[in-house]
Amino acid sequence: MAKTQDFTAVFKDMMGTLPVDTKAMEDLYKSQAALAEKMSTVALEAAKKSTDLSAKWAGDTLVKLSAVSKAKAEPADYAKSMTDFASSSAEAAAEHMAAFADIARKVQTETLELVMTASKKTTEEFSAAAQKATADVTAAAQKAAAEVTSVAKKASAA
């Protein structure tokens, strides 16, 4: 009576010969970490500039407000002081909002550049990895098929 061939060892060997490229995963992790670091740098730099601008704006407003809080000799001087404060505050708001817009524009530009560079690099890396994986898997599959055929021939001969 013919013995049934145990293909467990064959499949175990076949799976052992399939290439698993851990270096590609390590490289992907490293490139993603580098991108995250660059993006964090952009965000933190923008936050610092924004905070500095806000602090300067608040300081300027407080200096201008001190002039409003001083005692005046004539009631009309209070109205003039408030009008001057409102006018200078409106000008300052326009200037500071333009500065905030510049910060946002710079962040947007730097982020877009980083994403485009990372996208191009990632596409190139994935393409190279896919080509290598295809070649490795094809070679391993051909080798495994040859081994399975050989074992099947031996089993049928026995």
pLDDT per residue, tens digit, the chain (158 aa), is: 567 777 787 777 776 666 666 777 788 788 889 999 999 999 999 999 999 999 999 999 999 999 889 998 898 999 999 999 999 999 999 999 999 999 999 999 999 999 999 888 878 877 877 788 788 778 877 887 888 788 777 777 76
Residue pair 15/137 in contact by the 8 Å Cβ criterion:
no
d(CA 97, CA 53): 10
- Rounded Cα distance between 18 and 62, Å, is 70
User: What's the start-to-end Cα distance of the chain, in Å?
Assistant: 10
Residue-level pLDDT at 20:
66
For residue 81, the model assigns a pLDDT of 92
pLDDT score of 33: 92
Contact 64, 89 (CB under 8 A): yes
pLDDT score for 57:
96
d(CA 115, CA 110): 9
DSSP, collapsed to helix, strand or coil, labels residue 119 as helix
